[in-house]
Structure formats: C-alpha cells, structure tokens
Copies of this chain bind each other. A is one copy, B any other.
Amino acid sequence: MKLGCCYYPEHWPEDMWAGDAARMVNIGLSRVRIGEFAWSRIEPQPGQYDWDWLDRAIATLGDAGLEIILGTPTATPPKWLVDSMPDMVAIDADGNPRGFGSRRHYCFSHAGYRKECERIVTAMVQRYGDHPAITAWQTDNEYGCHDTVVSYSDAAAQGFRRWLAENYPDVDALNSAWGNVFWSMEYPDFEAVDPPNLTVTEPNPAHVLDYRRFASDEVVTFNRLQADIIRAHSPDRDIIHNYMGFFTEFDHHKVGQDLNVASWDSYPLGFLEQFFFSDDEKHRYARQGHPDIAAFHHDLYRGCANGRWSVMEQQPGPVNWARYNPAPLPGMVRLWTLEAMAHGAELVSYFRWRQAPFAQEQMHAGLLRPDNVEDIGASEARQAARDITMLGALENDRSEVALLFSYEAAWLLETQPQGQSFRYLELVFAMYSGLRRLGLNVDIVAPEAELDGYAMVVAPTLPIMLSSLIARLGALQVPVLIGPRSGSKTDDFSIPANLAPGELQDLIPLKITRVESLRPGITAKADSGEISRWLEHVETELTAETGLEDGRGILFASGGLRYLAAWPDAALLEDIFGRMAAEAGLSVDKLPQDLRMRRLGDLCFAFNYGTQTVELPETANRDYILGSSRIAPADVAVWKAG
C-alpha cells in the first residue's frame, strides 16, 4: 500500500514547493494529489490559461519522485464563469439559488456548465495526459458534498422531463406507474411534470424516487463526460473519484463503473459526531471514531470499482466541520492507516499536507502545522510507512460475508420512512457492525454483484428486489438473511400484488400483512435480544425461529434463507449471525467491545479502538509482526495467520 497526501501548491509560495516534496518523500509518502480547486489559477480570465505555475509544480513534485494524482477543477468554477451564466447554479427545494462564495456552486444538469467542464478538462488532459509524473486523475471532488446532488433548477426540470421520456413509453404509462389518479395528479404530457418540490404536502413517492434516480444519473453522466475525455487523452492512467462517508445521494456503484479506482475521504471523528450514533457512542469514541466507521466504508467502496480502492483523504488530526472537533487519540492516525491496509487499500492519502492558515478550512489539521512544523499526524504517517514496508504487499481476496447495499433502497426509504426512526444507513451499519463484532470479514456489494463464493449473504433491507436477484439467492447454498421491508415495493414504488416480500415468497412462504413503526421506548423482547422501531405482521405456516413474548414470530427460515421481520438490536443480531456462521462452517468469536480484527492474505490484524489495553482473546503460538497480544489503546497487532 502506498501513502500520499493532498497538496495545494497554489496556496504556498513557490519557494516552498521543493522542500515540501522532499519532506513528503522523507516521511514515506509516494503520491500526491493536486489541482482540484485551482480553476481560478489555471484560467484566471475567460479562455486565458496560465499553465506555467502548474507545469512547475508538477515538475517539482515529479522530480522528487512523487506520483501525481491530478484533479479536474470542476468543483470550483471561478467567479467570472458563474457571472457569465448565473443560471448554472443549483436551486434548492425552496427555490433559492445556491450561489458563488464557497464550492460546488453548479447544477449537474446545466448544459452550459457541462460544456465548460468539457473544455477545461480537455485542456488539462491534453496538456498533462501523458506527463510521466501523472499517475492518475481525480474527477471533480466529492460529488454531492453539501447536499448538491438534487437541484430544482430549470435545467434540472428540463433534464427530468427528458429522463422521464426516455424511461416511460408515454405519459399514460407514467401516470399509471406512479398511480397519479390518486389525487388527480395525472399529467397531460411529460412537459407538464415539475420537480417534486414546493408541493402543499408530500408529493407522490414514485415522483420523488424517479427524481432521485434522475439526479443520480445526472452525476453518472457528468462524471462519465470527464472520464471519457481522460480515457481518450491520458492512456494508462487511473481515473478516480473521491467519495464521502455515510453518503447515499447518488449511486456510487454506477459512477464506479466509469472509474478505475474508487476512493473515499475518511474522517472518523467527524463522522461519529455528525451521524446517527448514540450519545454514549459519541462520548466513548470521541477521539477514536466508532470502530466500524472506517472499515464499513473500506468494505463498501471496495465493491464499487472492481475491487480497487483507496483512501484519498485521511483525517490527520482535528477537523473543522463537525459540531465538535476533538483530536484523535495518539496512535489513531497510524491505526486508521494500517486498518485501510488490512481492508486492501492501494493508497492512503492524508488530507492535507500542511494546515492552511486561511479560508474555510483553516482549522482543519494537516500533516504539518501552519508554521511548517511536523504535527502528530506526520510522525504517525512516518511510523505507518515503516510498518507497511515491514508488512509487505497484500492482495484483496473475497471476504466471508457478502452484505448487499443499494443506493436506491436509501432513496426509497428516505422518501417513505413510514416511521421516522427507520433509517437505511443505520440498519445497514447495525448489521455490518454485528458481523464485525463476531470477527467476520465482510464485502459490501451491489445487489447485482456475483455472490458465488461467499459463505454467508446478508441483505439488511432491499425494498425493491429484482427477479434476477431472487433467482440468484435461491440458487445459493449458503445461509442468507433478508431484513425487514425487503421486497415490499415494486420498481414503480407500489406494493406488490402479492404483498411484501413480493417474489421473494417463492423462496420463503410468508407474507407481510401489516407493518408497524414504533416510537422510541416501545420495544419487545425476542429471545436474548429485543426489537424496536419496526415490526411486521407475518402470515405464514412456517414456525418462527425467533418470536416475541406475545407469540408473534419475527424470524423465519426456509432452507438456508431467513427473513427477519423487525428491527433487531445487537444481541439479537449476534444470535442470528452466530447461528448462520455455524451453519456456514465459519468459526466466530465475540470480540471485546473496542477490538476489531481483519484477515487479509496470510495476515491477521487487530485494532484497539478503546482507551484501555486489550488482551487478545487467544494468543498461543502467534507470530507477531507488529505488536503483541496486549494491545495498547489506539494500537495495532499483526500476525501471520496460523
């Protein structure tokens, strides 16, 4: 695995560049990402390019032996460009423009802006496409950051109408598919359809879901426009985009098809603070991040571009953008780095090289402090570089468990939560975490992914299940868990004619006749665990494998396939996954709360996310390459698999 960093030569005096490059190499970095926010320097005035500084920056970095990932600058169009076509910005759901002054001030559907992107990317790729120091390209930056996927602009409205015309034979088909008769919402023609905002009450969920699908597709084609140009002019260079954490606004699997490498931006402390974790978890893991946050995304994005993936931005210290921004526990930067390795990353690139003293992110740490002194992150990166060398090269292999992940499921469940505590990512994360607490290796994959070779398959929830998936699940000979609400909707966002779980009833003979969403505090005992939030009423002749105290069944099995009809807690998941693993012939151990393990190739890694030393469960005859059986807080142990 390689290490790298994100660097902004345009932010620093040119006389610092060579020293920076030398220090990067000295620390053990071999890659550097540059350029992605530099449009105003590359093209200070319309059509007047200034390549000189970038030529010199690339030369300086390349001469130091660094491989360069060059970013296209389309996330930050300059002021003169926005002023030349003010309608290029996105429009929010209230109808307000999302204007210039920060970043991502563009609408994915604006044809004029796409032309400009085509122009600037072509110019860049033509200039640097075969430069020997350029090893890869990053398209744009963090698509969707700051809630920028969905726009309600005129450009988006027009795009949506085109998209509908491509996806429905005629407007009658659309009216029928959406059930527009419901409240006299029938459209006379595609031109009459508007985006689903500014309605009196909730719009038709089918309308919303199609708008989300459309918006996601706009990201896909926006990215493809750049990927095609790069592929044409910069042969043999990887095309990469940097995804974000806990972000589902567009289909990362589809965008990934146009990439060579999926990468993501890993900020465990910020994500812990900003997302769905409990106050207890936010307290316990304030300086480490929840032990499954980074791994979850590693395993998710490994499934997006044929298994190749990287961490493009790695938190190196406190960040600036969460509600509260503590510092990582000493050791965590190294831990996160080695954990990425254990999950098969090609690269961990720290964001950023040196903390900028100005502008929006001036409180975001770098490897170097603003006064150019090495910060804690740099020393941990240096140590990680030595560790990586010692561990040698590792190859990704198939994990034990496949966990099915669907972006469309996220959109659908946001559109129709039915109970406000039913959150897609939270359910997926709970199941992922349940598997990981048993020490299982997980691949998070698209529902379309090949499932052969996995010892277990888990679908936390898939409201829309294609027939082809059901057929493939039916052919598997391994334990499969299907979570609540799976198969509850048709592709048109309707209830299946035979009710949920729809065609899945071919594999397991049960029917969901009624669902309940439950307010916090309403729970029910289920064996050793508890259910809450969501409960389905099941009509079946099967005997329940697990039931509630009132006799109602919530877990049913047919062959190797189980259907879970409620929202489970950790204890219940442990039971279920333990049973499945036993059937699959996998040996599992319940790990201590703060410990996580991963096997890759012939190495076993263990990571201590706690603030207390952890003794590894069993220690006999281990050949430790790093650490020992007693793992200090924020420390790592690695040994040869026995």
Contact = CB atoms under 8 A, between A and B. Distances in A.
Contacts of A517: 324-326
Nearest to A497: B371
A349 interface: no
A94 B10 CA distance: 33
Given A282-B519, A286-B522, A184 B73 contact: yes
Contact of A324 (B183, B207, B363, B519): B519
Identical chains bound together, number: 3
A447 interface: no
Q: For A101, A194, A203, which residue has the most chain B Cβ atoms within 10 angstroms?
A: A101
A50 B598 CA distance: 67
Nearest to A37: B183
A478 B91 CA distance: 57
Contact of A45 (B188, B273, B519): B188
Interface in A428-443: none
Contacts of A358: 178-179, 182, 206, 492-495
Nearest to A498: B371
A172 B81 CA distance: 18
A40 to B, nearest CB: 4
A187 interface: yes
A620 interface: no
B327 A101 contact: no
Nearest to A324: B519
Interface string A360-375: 1111010001110101
A279 interface: yes
A381 to B, nearest CB: 16
Contacts of A359: 178-180, 182-183, 185, 204-206
A283 interface: yes
Interface stretch (A110-118, A305-313, A315-323, A580-588): A315-323
A187 B81 CA distance: 11
Interface of A: 10-11, 37-41, 44-45, 73, 76-80, 83, 90, 94-105, 145-146, 148, 178-188, 192, 194, 196, 198-207, 273, 279, 282-283, 286, 317-318, 320, 323-327, 355-363, 365, 369-371, 373, 375-376, 416, 418-421, 492-499, 511, 513-519, 521-522, 537
21 contacts: A37-B184, A40-B180, A40-B186, A76-B183, A94-B94, A96-B198, A98-B198, A98-B199, A103-B200, A146-B200, A182-B359, A183-B360, A323-B419, A324-B519, A357-B496, A358-B494, A358-B495, A362-B495, A363-B416, A370-B495, A370-B499
